[in-house]
Chains A and B, each alone.
Chain A
């Protein structure tokens, strides 16, 4: 949201609308903090340890990148269901190339390149084939790319990814002052750099602002001279790129390419974006909110794992949080309309 829009809203909104806007903007951070406090009280010996907190960062890294790509897509009121499959194909091709003898500096690029290529297919399906909604195109690629992954791999994992290629996903920066095994994951740094980059891109680069404009009102964007098709193509390539980068981290974390990588991951990523306050109608949402959404899901899973709570509860609770987060969005709109 730009500064001028903020000022406009401040002038016209009712107190109720202002309250809802605050809830929407900061509510998810309050949830993150609340979860940290509650888990620290429930599992005081385990949850707040350096090892566990860095585990949460390791575990959310892949979802964080997928969610970042989906955030850009959802900003345009689109959807990308294929990111989990793209991640699987990219992990597999990356592992096969690396173990097949491709020099590692080149192998590093396989994941992101495969991602961009798959994203381009999605984008072209949307803009050239004129399929009615990105849901259709990316649902198609969700199946096809998963199928291709199984075809190229024969459904078998490929292990033995080289240490150089694994560095971004499994490297650790030792923190000896915090304990014998304490270390900070390199993958978390990759995530931070990407989030910083996208925040800058969306807010400061003209192409990024065009993405927001296309999401807010495609008709107006078109009239004001933005090449909407070009913007959409780039958006789906970016989503693919982040899925490919997530694949690189996944290959690092597991030392392998495996055909079941990322099954259902697109839903986790969409949930994180929605919990983070982005609007499904496009044009609204912040990078920081998405990160908080990713943390909410990661902390929930970690906390329930530590308490050995059945996996069924994890699914149930994530579902309730998604609905709750969107309900906040509905309330905000209603309050806004009442003013």
Chain B
């Protein structure tokens, strides 16, 4: 009896399904790799996308998998559901570089434009995100502007087998060499605060005239601060980090850290929507789009706390 009733409902639905979709505003989706508002980075990306949508008169769904960053199946379901909703384009930060590919290929097969924001999957497509090379150069430039020409400086690298680590190290070196500073040490501290403390201690011992350190992320920059504080040189050495994390912002306000380089997540959201619409309209767009970086200094650090 129940069985028959269910069959009846499905038959009814099959008939309703014949009715075509109604006319509405153009829709695009921003599919994040985490629940938007649970993480300040994604909250900013999502706000940028929604604001851009409002500006252009486009309906933007900014969504993320219910299980958070590891919920790959949830993200695949989101892709399918957004295709079913008839979106023109999907800007996505993939939760996995491989597993989302079939769903995104299906989207493209149905004429939905797909591009990547912040992270990319192992498939062709435009990438919108921070280019770490110019971003690190921006931080290096700030060192150039604040220490005398020819000074001894050091670079703390991240995990140097990762692209992010390589790009930040490269950008920093180009910037520091470009303005004539003397790079006395370039050493990896693997993104880690504790390791950065010991690496910095060694660099300080070997280079008593050290004037500045560029650390490829904020965790390491805070390690540099500790080592320099222990050596009682906090007032002499100029330290710049990368990421614009809240604890780094606090260290900047406290005067321990001089600056940090921050990504521009709001820009990512805006450009994601802008370019996915261009792509959907058949325009050619670049393979890589840099969303730029911004310096966090005592003047604006309060905004990053």
Residues of chain A at the chain B interface (Cβ within 8 Å): 26, 29, 32-33, 36-37, 40, 44-46, 48-53, 55, 58-59, 62, 157-159, 170, 178-179, 181, 250, 253-256, 258, 260-265, 301-302, 305-306, 308, 310-312, 314-315
| Stretch from B99-107, B136-144, B272-280 contacting the other chain | B99-107
Nearest-neighbour CB distance to chain B for A180, whole angstroms, equals 9
Contact B16 A48, beta carbon cutoff 8 Å: yes
With beta carbons under 8 angstroms apart, the residue of B13, B67, B76 that contacts A36 is B13
Q: A50-B17, A59-B76, A255-B101 are in contact. List 13 more A-B contacts (CB 8 A).
A: A33-B5, A52-B84, A55-B77, A157-B97, A178-B17, A254-B98, A254-B100, A258-B99, A260-B72, A260-B95, A261-B73, A305-B77, A305-B78
**Interface residue B284 (Cβ < 8 Å from any Cβ of A):** no
With beta carbons under 8 angstroms apart, the residue of B63, B86, B122 that contacts A46 is B86
Contact B99 A255, beta carbon cutoff 8 Å: yes
7 A-B pairs with CB atoms under 8 Å apart are A29-B2, A45-B22, A46-B84, A159-B99, A170-B102, A254-B100, A310-B36
Expressed in whole angstroms, the Cα–Cα distance for A179 and B21 within the complex equals: 13
Interface string of B72-101 (1 = CB under 8 A from A): 111011101111111000000001111111
- Which of A170, A256, A311 has most chain B Cβ within 10 Å? A311
Contact A260 B98, beta carbon cutoff 8 Å: no
**Interface residue B9 (Cβ < 8 Å from any Cβ of A):** yes
Expressed in whole angstroms, the Cα–Cα distance for A311 and B38 within the complex equals: 10
Contact A253 B70, beta carbon cutoff 8 Å: no
Expressed in whole angstroms, the Cα–Cα distance for A263 and B65 within the complex equals: 12
Residues of A within 8 A of B51 (CB): none
Interface size class for chain B?
A: 35 or more
Contact A46 B85, beta carbon cutoff 8 Å: yes
Interface string of B1-30 (1 = CB under 8 A from A): 010011001100110110111100000000
Expressed in whole angstroms, the Cα–Cα distance for A52 and B84 within the complex equals: 6
Expressed in whole angstroms, the Cα–Cα distance for A134 and B16 within the complex equals: 47
Contact A306 B81, beta carbon cutoff 8 Å: yes
Expressed in whole angstroms, the Cα–Cα distance for A181 and B100 within the complex equals: 20
Contact B63 A44, beta carbon cutoff 8 Å: no
Contact A256 B98, beta carbon cutoff 8 Å: yes
**Interface residue B246 (Cβ < 8 Å from any Cβ of A):** no
**Nearest-CB residue, chain B, relative to A298:** B77
**Interface residue B48 (Cβ < 8 Å from any Cβ of A):** no
**Which 5 pairs from chain A and chain B are nearest by CB?**
A159-B98, A254-B99, A311-B66, A256-B98, A157-B98
- The dominant DSSP class at the A interface is helix
Expressed in whole angstroms, the Cα–Cα distance for A310 and B34 within the complex equals: 12
With beta carbons under 8 angstroms apart, the residue of A40, A262, A265, A311 that contacts B13 is A40
With beta carbons under 8 angstroms apart, the residue of B36, B81, B95, B122 that contacts A302 is B81
With beta carbons under 8 angstroms apart, the residue of A32, A36, A258 that contacts B72 is A258
Residues of B within 8 A of A26 (CB): 2
Residues of A within 8 A of B36 (CB): 310
Given contacts A255-B102, A311-B63, contact A264 B71 (CB under 8 A): yes
With beta carbons under 8 angstroms apart, the residue of B6, B14, B21, B80 that contacts A45 is B21
With beta carbons under 8 angstroms apart, the residue of B17, B35, B72, B102 that contacts A48 is B17
Expressed in whole angstroms, the Cα–Cα distance for A302 and B110 within the complex equals: 20
Contact B85 A306, beta carbon cutoff 8 Å: yes
Residues of B within 8 A of A49 (CB): 17, 21, 84
Expressed in whole angstroms, the Cα–Cα distance for A157 and B123 within the complex equals: 14
Contact A33 B9, beta carbon cutoff 8 Å: yes
Expressed in whole angstroms, the Cα–Cα distance for A55 and B85 within the complex equals: 12
Contact A51 B84, beta carbon cutoff 8 Å: yes
Contact A312 B35, beta carbon cutoff 8 Å: yes
Contact B84 A306, beta carbon cutoff 8 Å: yes
Contact B102 A314, beta carbon cutoff 8 Å: no
Residues of B within 8 A of A310 (CB): 35-37
Contact A263 B85, beta carbon cutoff 8 Å: no
Given contacts A29-B2, A33-B5, A55-B84, contact A50 B98 (CB under 8 A): no
Expressed in whole angstroms, the Cα–Cα distance for A105 and B249 within the complex equals: 57
Residues of B within 8 A of A59 (CB): 73, 76-77, 80
**Nearest-CB residue, chain A, relative to B101:** A255
Contact A48 B85, beta carbon cutoff 8 Å: no
Contact A158 B98, beta carbon cutoff 8 Å: yes
Contact A157 B80, beta carbon cutoff 8 Å: no
Nearest-neighbour CB distance to chain B for A14, whole angstroms, equals 24
Contact B70 A263, beta carbon cutoff 8 Å: yes
Residues of A within 8 A of B77 (CB): 55, 59, 301-302, 305
Residues of B within 8 A of A314 (CB): 66
Contact B71 A40, beta carbon cutoff 8 Å: no
**Nearest-CB residue, chain A, relative to B85:** A46
**Interface residue B64 (Cβ < 8 Å from any Cβ of A):** yes
**Interface residue B61 (Cβ < 8 Å from any Cβ of A):** yes
Contact A40 B16, beta carbon cutoff 8 Å: yes
Contact A263 B9, beta carbon cutoff 8 Å: no
Expressed in whole angstroms, the Cα–Cα distance for A301 and B14 within the complex equals: 21
- Which of B20, B96, B98 has most chain A Cβ within 10 Å? B98
Expressed in whole angstroms, the Cα–Cα distance for A250 and B72 within the complex equals: 11
Expressed in whole angstroms, the Cα–Cα distance for A301 and B66 within the complex equals: 9
